[in-house]
Structure 1
Amino acid sequence: MNYRQRLTITYGLTLLLVGALVSFLVGLQATENSKAAATGYLRDINLQFATLLDLRMWARRNEMRTLAVTPVFGDRQRENEARRLLEQTQDFLPMFTWMGFLDPEGTVDIATGQILEGESIAQRPVFQEGRQGEFIGDVHDAVLLASQFPRLPNGEPIQFVDIAIPVVTDNGEFQGVLAAHLSWEWAQDTRVSLMAPLAGDNQKELFVVSADGNKLLGPEEIVDGSSMAFLPLADIESGESREVTLQWPDGIYYLTDIRRTDGYQDYSGLGWFTVARQPEAIALAPAQQLIHNIWIYSLTIGGISMVGIWYLSGWISRPLRRLSSISQALQLRLNSESTTPASAHVKDEIETVKQAIYRLHEEGKQEYAARQLAEKVSRADPLTGLANREGLRLLLAEYQRVLPRKQVLAVLALDLDGFKQVNDHYGHSAGDELLKAVAYRLQAELRPNQAGIRLGGDEFLLLLPLPVDEGEHIAEIVAHRILEAIAQPFHLGNCTANIGTSIGLAFWPTDDEKLEMVLDLADQALYKAKNTGKRRLVRWQSP
């Protein structure tokens, strides 16, 4: 086997081995990253789903509480007022499919649409449990109201969640029970609203499972009420979640996040489980595509390179073969005649090395530019363009290093007032637009040597290098300008949002020699501003 053949085969095998190793390592890392990202996304959306379910049940329960203390129920002379109150509540909140007041014997005294009025439902749990105290019943098919409401589009009967609140006078006399049937469709609406932004081929799906392991809500491929015993629900405590990859009844493996609801504030919940899933093959498809592409590129480049190295090795080995022939012919003669071809060979090698070094230099510059860009992107919040927590870390180090002695660093901690209501009412897309608009207004108030940071959610931080003797005054002026700027309406597409902000102010090194401690002091001042009326500036003061 001559030099040309050995060089070509060695190069080809090496390239194939390197390609296989790179494909394996990159594929392994990409698979882990894709799985972690998909699992994290499922965990986040499942947490949102569980929180919304409990929050809305808590809200409906509190609305019934409010109605129950209205002094119109149980008073015959105010029966029309009571009826009008129930009808108006149902108009405002259509998820209350039926609402009624039951007298102390369990007879329906007043009801929306006069449905079941005069009938006794004394044996129903809504009365039996409601007379003992507040009662929230789990999802069930309509029984007495089955004939009053049409079936769902899929042919299944309408389902309700019962809420019952006892009505008593100021001296504790039992007047009856205020009861309501809450249509289970509100949960489906919640599920749809969360899944709408995910429309596409990612196949992410949400389920609700009862405390005893039966399906309450989810895709129709699994019948409502069916046992979900294949899910590992045991030992999941309230508020906890479990991430697993398991095979579902359709034979497909899914990345699955299971969370047990834990209620909201004084509402303890019904022990539901929310489940988010995505086919493992779909979640890992980007990683598999990357592995496939690496193999294709490796084989393609390897084939082209092997053809090139075959011709190149022939050209390289030509002077070697000639030198060998001359050496054999001359034997003991001086090899001065072989100097010319050797010199020419060396000259060509130098030119080749020069070109290779030039290419490496250019690639190095490109890699350096790419690295610089990656570092810049890693320090910026992708939504608002402000610095993120990593950017904050670098900014703090820079200020501690270069801040002149005649300057102080004003730290303003901001938290938006009213953002959650906008986010809940108009949706997350409107919330994102609002955050970008807030960031724009904050940047408009900053000078080139000042920095804005988004810490996460609706929390922001501003860092203002200021003269020692004027720092307090300037910082308060900037803070009040920000209060006024954020208080102006935000026009977000088809809606207008009105919010405010609370600001906590502290100075480094005036308030503490440690810059990290000054951040905490500004945060303490912020919480004081939140707790004393919001939409104001509070300067941290030493206790």
Structure 2
Amino acid sequence: MFLRFVPRTFRVQMALLFGVISLFISLPAYFYISNQHKAQLIEYKRETLKGVTNAAATILTESLAERHREIVLLTQTPSYQKSDFRMADVRASLERVKQSYAHYSWIGIANAEGLVQSATSSHLEGADVSKRPWFQEGLKGPFVGDLHEALLLAKLLPNPSPNQPIRFIDFSAPIFDASGRVKGVLAAHAHWQWAGSLVGTMAPIHAQRDGIDLFILNHKGEVIYPEKIPEKLRVPSLDTLSNSADKKFVSWGEDKLYLTTSAAVKTPASVKSLGWQVVVRQVDTSVLTEVKNLERVNLFTMLTSSIAFLFLAWIVANRISRPVEDLTRTARRIESGEKEVGFAEKFWARELQRLSDALRGMSNTLIQQREALAQSNQELEAKVSARTAELQELNITLEQLARTDALTGLANRMHTNERLAEEFARFKRSKIPYCILMLDVDFFKRVNDIYGHGVGDEVLKHVASILSATVRKTDFVGRHGGEEFLSILPMTDSSAAMVVAEKIRNTIESTPIGPVGNLTVSIGVQEVTVNDINEDVAVTRADECMYQAKKSGRNKVISNGRHVALLS
């Protein structure tokens, strides 16, 4: 019906044909591109949330490990093993440890019968804690307790949040006397504000504006951070959270859906897992707002392209129909009786000749244009190749920067972990062992305290340069963290590794650096074994040997209880 009112001219019908073609091409392209962009944007948002989730879980994991290790090392203090727990220097030592970390609310020592002998601020001294889980588990070995409300200390400690109960995380470990018998239990209560201070540093800058929330769940799937949550909030089950990557959005019992990611918080290997999960969510309206903006841009682009295509079609149709119209006007002139109009055959002969000349000229022009286009393509390909090479060099440089410690120039922790995994995989295939050296600069904190962190940085670079110059080219050296370094010696047994380690120790000791003077290091050496389940096992043993070297006087190389005599 509509076509009856459309002028039946070549120009109009050709423009309509181009319009229909444009519509059939643009609409599917619009829906396809929009869906692709939507999926990519949602996946990008998910990966961004996953990065925040993993970072928060890693920070919590590392902090738990640090507090656990601190308590375990503290139990090995000689004065605790030999002295009476009630002595003033024991309490003073506990006070110093409490002041070193702002979130320790209470640190105390109970004897083997469960009576608190010494504690910070004298809180609970003389109290019977034998029924408390941290004491019962602490008698058996190192313990990290789940979040709980304060009981005995609730009335003794100030509450920074009066509307919320005081909640603690417990860390405890046994203290052994010289004969190896349990003498008591050292315990520390860390205030739950500890979690908020750590996780708060990982929240995105515009988290509230973008509708991003971060939660910590316990092993039951209950929210333990933040302390205040919306009444309608219903946390998805742990199974749902573990499968959230298969779903675009997850319901939290509210009117809105959320893009959700989760990551497990790991506890030290020597203690029972807490089963915590870090969960980060972003409201669907915030995610889809950007999707809708992108869809509007795509729609506008498609409409603009269609209009431009129609305009171009009209111009092309007009140019094509004009010669036909000229022929029609000539025919009308002849029809009107004009005598001066050329005969049709003569007319067409001249037009054909001109068309032949035009085609010949067009052919020459096309050939020239094709040659020019080929030359342009060659130049463009050369430019693209050069640009591609530059981008590859930049990518290599960026990858090196991402895997290199900025201070020492050695491999960073990520690169070190990758190399450990590679060496362990090679060992599993070839059965040719390798050794791990864990090196720690002795009294490094004293260097920072006395000379400042600038000199401390120079000390780390000094040690790094000696390590790089001392080991073989096939060996690997990386900064493991702080003043700790890790070296991998491929195709090397423990005896040869001890020689290398002693060479490193002696070289560092005999190479002074101003203004500190001579430095010493403690080195732990371990050879990988077929019983190791992963690459971290040998690293852990080497780390333990290193701490054994420190406990036995520092400036030593120790492997499985053996140490190398100092070189003269």
Considering the TM-score relative to the shorter chain, is it more than 0.5?
A: yes
User: CA distance change for structure 1 residues 70 and 299 in 2, over 3 Å: closer, same or farther?
Assistant: same
User: CA distance change for structure 1 residues 460 and 156 in 2, over 3 Å: closer, same or farther?
Assistant: closer
Question: Which residue of structure 2 lines up, in the alignment, with residue 320 of structure 1?
Answer: 324
Once the two structures are TM-superposed, the CA of residue 85 in structure 1 deviates from its matched residue by 0.8
Question: Which residue of structure 2 lines up, in the alignment, with residue 276 of structure 1?
Answer: 280
Q: Matches of 1:29 and 1:494 in 2, distance apart?
A: 53
Q: Which of 89, 95, 101 is the matching residue for 1:93?
A: 101
Tell me the TM-score normalised to structure 1 length: 0.64
Q: Which of 340, 343, 349 is the matching residue for 1:336?
A: 349
Q: Is the 8 A contact 2:75 2:174 kept in 1?
A: yes
Q: Matches of 1:312 and 1:95 in 2, distance apart?
A: 77
Question: Which residue of structure 1 lines up, in the alignment, with residue 165 of structure 2?
Answer: 157
Once the two structures are TM-superposed, the CA of residue 336 in structure 1 deviates from its matched residue by 1.6
**Cα deviations by residue, 1:221-257 (Å, 9 ceiling, x for unpaired):** 447xx98542343796xxx996643122333333322
Residue 16 of structure 2 is aligned to residue 12 of structure 1: no
Tell me the TM-score normalised to structure 2 length: 0.62
User: CA distance change for structure 1 residues 89 and 248 in 2, over 3 Å: closer, same or farther?
Assistant: same
Question: Which residue of structure 2 lines up, in the alignment, with residue 112 of structure 1?
Answer: 120
Once the two structures are TM-superposed, the CA of residue 530 in structure 1 deviates from its matched residue by 9.6
Q: Matches of 1:380 and 1:335 in 2, distance apart?
A: 64
Q: Is the 8 A contact 2:234 2:252 kept in 1?
A: no
Q: Is the 8 A contact 1:319 1:345 kept in 2?
A: no
User: CA distance change for structure 1 residues 263 and 125 in 2, over 3 Å: closer, same or farther?
Assistant: closer
Q: Matches of 2:128 and 2:205 in 1, distance apart?
A: 46
Using the TM superposition, name which of 146-155 and 22-31 deviates more.
146-155
**Cα deviations by residue, 1:450-504 (Å, 9 ceiling, x for unpaired):** xxxx99747999xxxxxxxxxxxxxxxxxxxxxxxxxxx9x99999573426476
Counterpart code for 1:99: I
Residue 146 of structure 2 is aligned to residue 138 of structure 1: yes
Residue 139 of structure 2 is aligned to residue 171 of structure 1: no
Once the two structures are TM-superposed, the CA of residue 148 in structure 1 deviates from its matched residue by 3.2
Q: Matches of 1:206 and 1:273 in 2, distance apart?
A: 11
Q: Matches of 1:112 and 1:136 in 2, distance apart?
A: 20
Question: Which residue of structure 2 lines up, in the alignment, with residue 24 of structure 1?
Answer: 31
Q: Matches of 1:4 and 1:346 in 2, distance apart?
A: 23
SS in 1 for 2:129: coil
Map residues 355-434 of structure 1 onto 2, 5 A cutoff: 368=381, 371-372=384-385, 375-376=388-389, 379-380=392-393, 384-385=397-398, 419=405, 434=406
Question: Which residue of structure 1 lines up, in the alignment, with residue 71 of structure 2?
Answer: 64
**Cα deviations by residue, 1:492-527 (Å, 9 ceiling, x for unpaired):** 999957342647636xxxxxxxxxxxxxxx994899
Residue 237 of structure 2 is aligned to residue 231 of structure 1: yes
Map residues 494-533 of structure 1 onto 2, 5 A cutoff: 496=457, 498-499=460-461, 500=464, 502=468, 505=473, 524=490, 532-533=500-501
Question: Which residue of structure 1 lines up, in the alignment, with residue 300 of structure 2?
Answer: 296
Q: Matches of 2:46 and 2:414 in 1, distance apart?
A: 20
- Which runs of 5 or more structure 1 residues have no equivalent in the other structure? 390-414, 420-433, 443-453, 462-488, 507-521, 537-543
SS in 2 for 1:155: coil
Once the two structures are TM-superposed, the CA of residue 335 in structure 1 deviates from its matched residue by 2.8
Residue 135 of structure 2 is aligned to residue 127 of structure 1: yes
User: CA distance change for structure 1 residues 333 and 16 in 2, over 3 Å: closer, same or farther?
Assistant: same
- Which runs of 5 or more structure 2 residues have no equivalent in the other structure? 1-7, 335-342, 420-447, 475-487, 508-568
Q: Matches of 1:494 and 1:28 in 2, distance apart?
A: 56
Aligned length: 434
Q: Matches of 1:384 and 1:333 in 2, distance apart?
A: 74
Counterpart code for 1:192: G
Q: Matches of 1:41 and 1:370 in 2, distance apart?
A: 34
Q: Which of 181, 204, 224 is the matching residue for 1:216?
A: 224
Using the TM superposition, name which of 341-350 and 82-91 deviates more.
341-350
Using the TM superposition, name which of 252-261 and 367-376 deviates more.
367-376
User: CA distance change for structure 1 residues 58 and 16 in 2, over 3 Å: closer, same or farther?
Assistant: same
- Cα-Cα RMSD: 4.9
**Cα deviations by residue, 1:52-88 (Å, 9 ceiling, x for unpaired):** 3222212212221222233444844861111011001
Counterpart code for 2:388: E
Once the two structures are TM-superposed, the CA of residue 322 in structure 1 deviates from its matched residue by 2.0
Q: Give the percent of matched residue pairs that are identical in Structure 1 and Structure 2.
A: 22
**Cα deviations by residue, 1:334-369 (Å, 9 ceiling, x for unpaired):** 732444775697699779979997997799689758
Q: Which has the larger radius of gyration?
A: 2
User: CA distance change for structure 1 residues 289 and 367 in 2, over 3 Å: closer, same or farther?
Assistant: farther
Q: Is the 8 A contact 1:213 1:229 kept in 2?
A: yes
Q: Is the 8 A contact 2:244 2:250 kept in 1?
A: no
Counterpart code for 1:161: I
Q: Matches of 1:314 and 1:265 in 2, distance apart?
A: 80
Once the two structures are TM-superposed, the CA of residue 321 in structure 1 deviates from its matched residue by 2.2
**Cα deviations by residue, 1:262-312 (Å, 9 ceiling, x for unpaired):** 434434431111223334454565555443322212212322442354244
